[in-house]
Amino acid sequence: MKHIVLATVYVAVGSATVYAQSAKPCESLRSVSLPGTTITAAEMVAAGPIQLPAQPGRGGAAANPPVAPAHCRVAAVLAPSSDSHIEVEFWFPAADWNGKFEAVGNGGFAGVISFPAMAAALREGYATASTDTGHKGGSAVFAMGHPEKYVDFAWRSIHEMTVKAKALVNEYYGRPARLSYWNGCSTGGRQGLKEAQRFPEDFDAIVAGAPANYETHLHAWTVEVGMAAIKGNENILPSTKMPIVNKAVLAACDSLDKVKDGLLNDPRKCSFDPGTLLCKGSDTTNCLTADQVAAVKRIYAPAKFNDGTLIFPSFEPGSEMAWASVVSNAAPPQIGIDTFMYLTYADPQWDWHNFDLDRDTRAADKRDDGVIDAIDPDLSKFKAHGGKLLMYHGWNDTAIAPENSINYYSSVLAKMGSKQDDWYRLFMAPGMQHCGGGPGPNQFNAMAALERWRESGTAPEMLVASHITGANVDMTRPLCPYPQVAVYKGTGSTNDAANFSCKMP
C-alpha cells in the first residue's frame, strides 16, 4: 500500500508544540495494512462524553463516562500468534496534537481496555492507546490451556500495541511521534517495567506506579495473607477490629517523624506489638483475642521460603484501615486463587485450603519462568536509550506491599551502581493506598513531572501531592525521592507542603 506523507503544519503555543492537522482522513486508516492486524473501525468521534461498552464480568456501562475531545478512533484486533485475539483502541486528537504518544496500562488480570485513562491522555493532547491484553473479563481462566494467551497478557500485547500505535500515528499525522510515554499503575506498573526490561526502545519515559512486577510471589503472598485470619472455614478478624489496631499503631508511632498527623513517614521504623491489644477477659470491640493477635502478627510478617529467603514483603503498620478487603473474608482474594488455579496448575479444582507457601511459590516460579514477572534489574539498555523511569508506591497499599518497589529499586542500584537518580527515581507516599486513596496525600501529577524530566532535563526533586475531601484540598505534602523523606521545617501548618523539605532520614 502506498503511504503518502504530507508536511505537518504546527503552531507553537508557549513551550509546547501543537500540531494543527492530520495528514489524511481518519476513515482512511481502515485500509492501512499492518502485520498481524485487522482494523475493525476508523471513525471520527465528536467531543463529549465517551459512551463506553459494558465489560464482561464488570457490570454495565460507566455511570459517569469520561469526557474526551474530538478524535480519530481506530479499533483493531492483533494476532501475533494463531491463538491470539488482542483488542486494541487507538485514539488520535483531531486537533492540537502535542506530537507525542502515551500508552496506558491495565489493572489486575486486565481483560478490559482502559478507556478512562485513554480519555485523560487525550485531554492532554496525546495520541493514546490501550489493550485488553488478549482476553475478556478479570479472571485468569483465559490462560488455562492457552499458552499463547498467557504470553499475550504477560508482555506481547503491550509491545505489539505499541509498535502498531506508532505506525498508525505516523500514518495519520504524516510524521512519527516525537516522544513515547508509558503510564500505568499496578499491572500497568508491571507492564511498564517489562517494557523497559524487554523492549527498552519502545518508550522514552515510563511512569510505573505500585508495580505488580513480581506477580508470582505477589499472589503467593496474597493467598498467604488472606489465609492469616481464616480458621477452619471462618474468618476470625472482622473489619470492626481494624480501627483499634490502627489507633494503637498511630499511638505508638505517629510521632516518630515529629508530626502527629495520622501518617507514618516510614512505617518500617514502627515497632508495634499487637500483643498489647490482647483481651484481658472476654472478647470486646476494644481488644483482640489470642487468635486475632496471632493473625495480626502473621499479617505484619513477610512471606518467606522454608530456608528463610524472602518471597514477598508484608503489610505496613498504619495500613490497617485498608486490610478488610484482603483479610476479613472467608477465602483469600480471588486474584491469588486464580494465579494458582489457572496459571500455575491449570486445575479448576485446585483448593486453596491446601496451599503451601514454599511448595506452591516454587511451582509458580517454575511455571512462569520469567514470562510475567518483571524483576530483571538490568535496565542499562533503557538508560542508554535516554529513558526516564519514575516509580511511586503508597505506604498504605494492601494490594501490593510497598516494600516490593523498594526491593526492585534497590536491586537495580545493586546491579547498575548506586548513582542512578539522573534517570530513575522512586517516590514513596505516606498514607496512600493502592494507586491512590487513603488518609495521606494521594493525588499528584506523575506524568507532568516525567515530561519535564525527559523533555527539559528538570529532575523531580519532589512531587507535591494533595489530599482532597469532597471538593476541598485539606492537605498538601511533598513526596520525596527515595530514600529521602518529607521533614517538617518546624513552623507553619503541617497541612501545607511549603512547610516541609525533602531530606535524608
Which residues have a catalytic role annotated?
A: 186, 397, 434
Query: Do 470 and 435 meet the contact criterion of CB atoms below 8 Å apart?
Result: no
C-alpha distances in Å from residue 399, one per residue of 188, 235, 238, 350, 368 = 14, 19, 18, 23, 21
Contact, 86 vs 152, CB < 8 A? yes
Phi-psi category of residue 486: left, alpha or beta, with phi > 0 → left and psi -120 to 50 → alpha: beta
Residue closest to 404 by CA, chosen among 217, 226, 220: 217
Cα first-last separation, the chain: 60
Distance CA 264, CA 274 (A): 17
Question: Are 179 and 362 a contacting pair, CB within 8 Å?
Answer: no
Whole-angstrom distance, CA of residue 461 vs CA of residue 234: 48
Sole residue written with cell 483469600: 332
Report DSSP letters for 185-207, one per residue.
ETHHHHHHHHHHHH-TTS-SEEE
Contact 40, 50 (CB under 8 A): no
Residue type, 25: P
Say how many residues make up the chain. 505
In 10 A of CB 14, how many CB atoms? 6
Measure the CA–CA gap between 258 and 254, rounded to whole angstroms. 8
- Which residues have C-beta within 8 Å of that of residue 226, sequence separation ≥ 6? 326, 327, 329, 331, 332, 333, 336
Whole-angstrom distance, CA of residue 503 vs CA of residue 192? 28
CB neighbours of 90 closer than 8 A, spacing ≥ 6? 73, 74, 75, 76, 127, 128, 129, 164, 165, 168
Burial of 252 (0-12, 13-18, 19+ CB in 10 A): middle
Separation of alpha carbons 375 and 370, rounded Å: 8
